[in-house]
């Protein structure tokens, strides 16, 4: 509602300004200031207020600006052309600003969605970090040797007992990570103590 009132006020101000400039402009560019009122209404309020400003500008322009003034009669073809030109330019201006407003709204919506995705990603990363830290703490607190592997059986983490029980001094923690588990911790038969998997072998 405010946008419609503002659009009418803009048209009224534009007509008054044009009348004040009348000694300088005479009968040239009669709707000059009204164009700005329509553009302002389109920018401020959108299509509805802008269309109202366009109609109000046409009515007040015919009465106050087009000769013969203070009359709604539009008899001369030149005045009709001016009125039609005003309507055409006004509609084009409204369409342009409507397109700009739609583009801005789309950009704002995309920016809002991007912020939501970034916030969600940060929350997920923070949750994953907390879970990893919790698992690391749990792993470190276990007295038995424990190692974790990925889907390809490569070691991803070791606790202290597992580091101390590595089969060879050459398996430092930095080398052990991402190394196939069976190369460092070959499985042994509990009864025969025979190695079931040789270092570097796969089953």
CA distance 181 to 156: 9
Segment 101-111 shows an average pLDDT of: 89
Instruction: Write down the pTM of the prediction.
Output: 0.56
Question: What local confidence, expressed as pLDDT, does residue 202 receive?
Answer: 39
Q: Which of 16-25, 155-164, 177-186 has the highest mean pLDDT?
A: 16-25
Out of 54-58, 85-89, 90-94, 152-156, least confident range: 152-156
Mean pLDDT, all residues of the chain? 82
- pLDDT of 41 > 90? The answer is yes
Q: Which residue has the higher pLDDT, 196 or 117?
A: 117
CA distance 57 to 49: 12
- pLDDT of 6 > 90? The answer is yes
Question: What local confidence, expressed as pLDDT, does residue 138 receive?
Answer: 79
Scanning the chain, the segments in alpha helix (DSSP H) are 2-20, 22-25, 32-45, 47-64, 77-141, 160-164, 173-176, 181-184
Give the three-state DSSP class for 154: strand
Q: Are 186 and 203 in contact (CB under 8 A)?
A: no
pLDDT class for 23, splitting at 50, 70, 90? Answer: confident
Segment 131-143 shows an average pLDDT of: 78
Question: What local confidence, expressed as pLDDT, does residue 146 receive?
Answer: 76
Segment 117-123 shows an average pLDDT of: 90
Question: What local confidence, expressed as pLDDT, does residue 203 receive?
Answer: 38
The set of residues, in sequence order, having a beta carbon less than 8 Å from that of 158 and lying 6+ positions away, is 146, 147, 173, 176, 177
């Amino acid at each position: 509602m405010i946008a419609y009132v503002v659009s009418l006020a803009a048209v009224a101000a534009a007509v008054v300004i044009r009348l004040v400039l009348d000694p300088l402009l005479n009968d040239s560019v009669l709707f000059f200031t009204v164009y700005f009122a329509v553009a302002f209404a389109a920018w401020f309020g959108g299509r509805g207020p802008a269309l109202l400003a366009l109609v109000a500008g046409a009515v007040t322009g015919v009465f106050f600006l087009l000769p013969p003034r203070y009359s709604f009669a539009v008899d001369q073809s030149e005045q009709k052309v001016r009125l039609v030109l005003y309507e055409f330019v006004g509609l084009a201006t409204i369409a342009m600003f409507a397109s700009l407003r739609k583009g801005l709204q789309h950009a704002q919506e995309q920016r809002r969605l991007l912020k939501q995705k970034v916030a969600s990603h940060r929350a997920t990363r923070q949750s994953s970090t907390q879970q990893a830290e919790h698992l690391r703490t749990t792993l470190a607190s276990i007295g038995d040797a424990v190692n974790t592997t990925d889907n390809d059986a490569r070691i991803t983490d070791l606790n202290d007992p597992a580091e101390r029980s590595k089969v060879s001094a050459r398996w430092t923690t930095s080398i052990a990570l991402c190394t196939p588990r069976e190369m460092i911790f070959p499985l042994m038969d509990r009864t025969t103590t025979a190695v079931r998997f040789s270092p570097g072998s796969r089953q």
